């Protein structure tokens, strides 16, 4: 069973418009959740993390995500896309113990 | 503060050879973990080392092995290379009290197997 699902493999937005990258998880418990970004030929960089504190999490570069237990979702948003946001985004879920799973990634294209 | 350093950045090998990749973690980080990234399989966890001991392991064959030294630097070895081992190999470090927690990634070693 897939523990984390990124619903879109590719998202394309115009510069200055909102960004929505979707992530759903499967867990009976409240997991820890992360979003990482990977720019071309680079390693992954942490954007933000949820660890059972506030459900709305603010990250770097204007990104934020909201943990919704009822929907088992942790979608990543940004009000206004910038060209430098073009990258691959990964949702990561940590279940009980040391079980953790990477999503398959969402490639974000920003159109000038 | 220096980030995670991986060497070499690029390498080409032929089938049947072996390869060793190196990872120097951020100073003070005691956990080093390794990942394989391919277009088909995405990001997959290989293993994690903490204080020179393998603490967690993914689902990879025994051809993939690693070790960690007393200064927390880690090496990963792949023996008897196969074409399917072509991938970007990423290393990440963390303080290590809880794994995985917040991971700091290197830029990766891109391995091509011919």
Condensed to tens digits (0 to 9), the pLDDT of residues A14-73 reads 999 999 999 999 887 778 899 999 998 888 999 999 887 788 999 999 999 999 989 999
Contact B41, A103 (CB under 8 A): no
DSSP class of residue B61 equals -
Contacts of B106 in chain A (CB under 8 A): 43
Distances (CA, A) of B104 to A3, A62, B9, B94, B101: 22, 20, 17, 6, 10
Mind listing the pLDDT tens digit for each residue in B23-59? 999 999 999 999 999 988 888 989 999 999 998 888 8
Q: Which has the closest alpha carbon to B103: B39, B22, B43?
A: B43
**Do the Cβ atoms of A100 and B100 come within 8 Å?**
yes
From B109's Cα to the closest Cα of chain A, the distance in A is 10
In this model, does residue A1 exceed pLDDT 60?
Answer: no
Sheet holding B74-78, edge to edge: B5-7, B19-24, B74-78, B64-68
Residue of B nearest to A88 (CA): B42
Sequence-ordered alpha helix ranges (H) in B1-114 = none
Whether residue B92 lies within 8 A of chain A, CB to CB, comes out as yes
**Between chains, do B43 and A98 touch, taking CB under 8 Å as contact?**
no
SS (H, E, C) chain A: CCCEEECCCEEEEECCCCEEECEEECCCCCCEEEEEEECCCCCEEEEEEECCCCCEEECHHHCEEEEEHHHCEEEEEECCCCHHHCEEEEEEEECCCCCEEECCCEEEEEEC
Distance CA A76, CA B104 (A): 20
Residue A95: the pLDDT is 76
Which of B45, B100, B105 lies at the smallest CB-CB distance from A43?
A: B105
pLDDT at A52: 74
Model confidence at A74, pLDDT cuts 50, 70, 90, reads: very high
Is pLDDT above 70 for A2? Answer: no
Q: Give the length of chain B.
A: 114
């Amino acid at each position: 069973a897939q523990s984390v699902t990124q619903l879109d493999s590719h998202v394309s937005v115009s510069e200055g418009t909102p960004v929505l990258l979707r992530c759903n998880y499967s867990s009976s418990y409240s997991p820890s959740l992360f979003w990482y970004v990977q720019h071309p030929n680079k390693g992954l960089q942490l954007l933000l993390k949820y660890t059972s504190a506030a459900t709305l999490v603010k990250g770097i570069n204007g990104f934020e995500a909201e943990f919704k237990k009822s929907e088992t979702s942790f979608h990543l948003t940004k009000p206004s896309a910038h060209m430098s946001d073009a990258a691959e985004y990964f949702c990561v879920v940590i279940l009980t113990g040391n079980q953790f799973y990477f999503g398959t990634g969402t490639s974000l294209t920003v159109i000038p | 503060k220096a980030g995670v350093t991986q060497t070499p950045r690029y390498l080409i090998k032929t089938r049947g050879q072996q390869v060793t990749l190196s990872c120097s973690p951020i100073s003070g980080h005691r956990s080093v973990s390794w990942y394989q990234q391919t277009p088909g399989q995405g990001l997959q966890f290989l293993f994690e080392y903490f204080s020179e001991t393998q603490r967690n392991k993914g689902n990879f064959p025994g051809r993939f092995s690693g070790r960690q030294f007393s200064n927390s630097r880690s090496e990963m070895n792949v023996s008897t290379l196969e074409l399917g081992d072509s991938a970007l190999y990423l290393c990440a470090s963390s303080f290590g009290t809880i794994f995985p927690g917040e991971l700091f990634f290197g830029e990766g070693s891109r391995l091509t197997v011919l």
